[in-house]
Amino acid sequence: MERTLANFIRALRMADVRVSTSETLDAFRTAEITGWRDRTALKQALALALPKTADEKDAFDACFEQFFRFDDFRSEGKPEDPTDASPDDDSGDEAGESGDSAAGGEGEAPGGGGGGRSSGSDAEELEELVHPGEMSGPSSELGQLLMAEDSSRLSLAIANAARDAKLEEIKVFTQKGLYTRRIMEGMGLAGLQEELGELGESTELPDRRLAAELRRRRDGLREQIRDHVERQFLLHADARGDRLREEMLRKVKLSNVEHRNFRHLRVLVQKMAKQLAAAHSRRRRVTKRGQLNVPKMLRRNMRHGGELVELAWKSTKIDRPKVYAICDVSGSMTTYARFMLMLLYSLEEVLPNVRAFAFSSDLGEVTDLFRREAIDDAIALTLKDYGGGSTDYGQAFEDFERLAGSALDNRSTLIILGDARNNFGEARTDLLRGFRDRSKRVMWLNPEPEMAWGSGDSEMRRYQAHVHQANVCNSLLHLERVVSNLLRAVT
């Protein structure tokens, strides 16, 4: 059972539920206390120990339902004779299902059997089956298991065989057949086939009844195992695919991202912003003014014999950094700007004082637009209003100076996203220098590789001298790193 639970936790991790080692241990202890008998109780108990947010709870629910679905073995594998059905599972649903499987078994079992029986005797066999009568006992291990009507033991056996076959490592859907066969073999298919062969030789009626019944159940079992494999595949491999794509998207150059992946990227950006927000929200700083903290002060001054020498202050202050972001949204920069804007938009929660500006030649503030509109509209409008023109950094800096220059102070951080390709216009490094002198930090993010800086009409080398920090930034990974550093610096 331990390995089952470990596999379940693995599946949870694939489904983006963060489970730490200590939580794994909790889960084991939880399972020990509640036991494995009652499925609902187990689910409720594990739901307390493993998922820790509302999102994770949803993922956990789905995962649990998929992973622990052994209950559906119960309805199948029942004898077709209704008088044999145990009285306690007479619910309409189950009865219907068992009827179905019985009917399917009658129709398919003889033809589909791989035992090599001639088709001539099938009709006769069917005849015999319709009239239930004495049946001999199965001798092979799997045969006994199949005839035992013990659904929990059967599902346990399947789970065990699946584990031995390392089903959790299934990667692509073409492997489904392979794993199904391996599991069947692991459960002792060879023995069963042998027994079926022997029974086929026999002329005794009870033996042949048994053979038909066994064959029917074997096919039912194969069906169940296939379902099991299918579910495990969805659980393990699908999520892994997502993970892979996410990893890929983070590293790829933003300009190379295909359009159909934009949707995924946006989710990713939001996820990233959320993580950054969680890591950097609210820093406090003890301030040197406000009310006196009398107890602390007295205590601190004990060492001076009770004379008040050192002062202790009560108030702490929440630092609210100001971030100004200038985005170049001209033609060449559109893709990058889109994600930068997306991230800025998502970061509004963490940094309440974000002011965003966009330009290609004339610069304008888009902060209000961001507050008003939904993310997609806001970005589209920004690109429409300011994008597409030919770049003029000089003009943009002038406009920025006019709009926000006076607001820059020693708590402000200025981020400039642009390729610094100025079409040989006036660079106005003097203005940039001014920004730098007045603010805490000026960062320049350039999507071009450092080799290209300063080549052609790029003014990057000159601008670089007038900022605190210049970084290459052309993938989400870069963006995340830069913004994380930024948040650490400003908060």
Answer yes or no whether residue 18 interacts with another protein by CB under 8 A. Answer: yes
CA 168 → CA 100, 121, 229, 414, distances in Å? 30, 41, 9, 49
Considering the rule CB under 8 A, would residue 306 count as an interface residue with another protein?
yes
54 binds another protein (CB under 8 A): yes
d(CA 125, CA 117): 11
Task: Give SS3 for 447.
Answer: coil
Q: Are 98 and 74 in contact (CB under 8 A)?
A: no
Kindly tell me which of 57 and 253 has the beta carbon lying closer to another protein: 57
Q: Measure Cα distances from 369 to 353, 363, 364, 378 in Å.
A: 14, 14, 11, 6
- Report helix, strand or coil for 267: helix
Quote the least distance from Cβ 74 to another protein, whole Å.
Answer: 23
Q: By the 8 A CB rule, do 276 and 484 touch?
A: yes
Among 121, 202, 256, 316, the residue binding another protein under the rule CB under 8 A is 316
Which stretch, 215-223, 290-298, 353-361, 395-403, contacts another protein (CB under 8 A)? Answer: 290-298
115 three-state secondary structure: coil
Shortest separation between residue 281's beta carbon and another protein, angstroms? 6
Residue 16, classed as helix, strand or coil, is coil
The answer to whether 433 contacts another protein (rule: CB under 8 A) is no
Does residue 287 belong to the site contacting another protein (CB under 8 A)? no
Write the single-letter amino acid at 251.
K
Measure the CA–CA gap between 393 and 418, rounded to whole angstroms.
9
Is 423 an interacting residue with respect to another protein (CB under 8 A)? no
List C-alpha distances in Å: 345 to 65, 322, 399: 36, 15, 22
Is position 278 an interface residue for another protein (rule: CB under 8 A)? Answer: yes
When asked if residue 52 is in the footprint of another protein (CB under 8 A), the reply is yes
Q: Which of 1, 3, 44, 450 binds another protein (CB under 8 A)?
A: 44
# chain residues binding another protein, by CB under 8 A: 34
285 binds another protein (CB under 8 A): no
Measured from the CB atom, the residue of 53 and 455 that comes closer to another protein is 53
DSSP letter assigned to residue 389: S
Shortest spacing between CB 48 and another protein, in angstroms:
4
| Joined tokens for residue 391 | 């770049």
| Listed ranges 47-55, 194-202, 327-335, 397-405: which one lies at the site for another protein (CB under 8 A) | 47-55
User: Burial, 16: exposed, middle or buried (Cβ in 10 Å; 0-12, 13-18, 19+)?
Assistant: middle
**What is the C-alpha to C-alpha distance for residues 385 and 365, in angstroms, rounded to an integer?**
11
Considering beta carbons, is residue 251 or 317 the nearer one to another protein?
Answer: 317
Closest approach of Cβ 70 to another protein, in Å?
A: 21
Is 13 a binding residue for another protein by CB under 8 A? The answer is no
Near another protein by CB under 8 A: residue from 7, 30, 98, 101: 30
Rule CB under 8 A: is residue 284 a binding residue for another protein? yes
Q: How many CB atoms lie within 10 A of CB 282?
A: 9
The reply on whether position 241 binds another protein by CB under 8 A is: no
* Cα–chain center distance at 341: 24
Cβ 236 to another protein shortest distance, Å = 24
Q: What's the closest the beta carbon of residue 415 comes to another protein, in angstroms? A: 25
Q: Using an 8 Å Cβ cutoff, are 3 and 163 in contact?
A: yes
Residues 247, 241: Cα–Cα separation, whole Å:
10
Q: Determine the interface stretch with another protein among 14-22, 181-189, 397-405, 424-432 (rule: CB under 8 A).
A: 14-22
Please report, as ranges, the residues that interact with another protein according to CB under 8 A.
18, 20, 22-23, 26, 29-30, 33-34, 40-41, 44-45, 47-49, 51-54, 57, 277-278, 281-282, 284, 295-296, 298-299, 302, 305-306, 316
